[in-house]
Amino acid sequence: MAENKVLVVYYSLDGDCDLIARDLQEITGADLERLYPESEPHGKGFGKIFIGAFTARIGLKVRIRPLKHKIEDYNTIIIVSPVWAGTFPPAIGTFLKKEHFTGKDVHLLASSGSGEASKMLEQMKMALSGNNILLDLSLKSPLADPDRTKQKLEEFCLAFF
């Protein structure tokens, strides 16, 4: 059997998804691909949250920097996304539309302040319709309890490793 090459693709504005991605890399030995949009919400506090939520809700199209890794070189793709106003941020939307996941095992992880990401995960599955979506996981405020986050990720990874 061929080696299972894993790529974690993620977008992180405030660090929660960055923590998830780095933990996944440590647990699985995966390569990391951080998405960098050409523009992001700026500022602090409510203003940044409001702008991010607004851009996500209207489905704003953004450009992302070219990827360092080629999706076709991997068997397993793990996509990590924050929840913005009940949906995924524009950078994730651009990635989902631009890349092809045929023949890949795809896993979805969501980070939200409320811990409720089922709506966003369903939207991601619809955007990836026709692909092999295996597992999904929602994590509440990963940076608030990094040890618990890592434990949940280890349990999640046991399902496919």
Domains delineated in the chain = 6-158 (3.40.50.360)
Confidence band, pLDDT 50/70/90 cuts, at residue 4: confident
137-156 average pLDDT score: 96
54-72 average pLDDT score: 77
- DSSP secondary structure letter of residue 67: P
What radius of gyration, in Å, describes the C-alpha atoms of the chain? 15
Neighbours of 102 (CB within 10 A): 9
Sequence letter at residue 8: V
Tally of residues, the chain: 161
Q: Which of 33-42, 68-77, 100-109, 148-157 has the lowest mean pLDDT?
A: 33-42
Tokens standing for residue 140: 């509440």
Query: Per-residue pLDDT for 153 more than 70?
Result: yes
The structure's pTM equals 0.87
15-33 average pLDDT score: 96
Neighbours of 70 (CB within 10 A): 10
Instruction: Please tell me which residue, 3 or 97, carries the higher pLDDT value.
Output: 97
1-14 average pLDDT score: 84
The neighbouring-strand residues paired with 111 are 82, 139
Given this model, what pLDDT does residue 133 score?
A: 92
Using CB atoms within 10 Å of the CB of residue 24, give its burial: 0 to 12 exposed, 13 to 18 middle, 19+ buried: buried
Query: Per-residue pLDDT for 26 more than 60?
Result: yes
Given this model, what pLDDT does residue 14 score?
A: 82
Query: Per-residue pLDDT for 55 more than 70?
Result: no
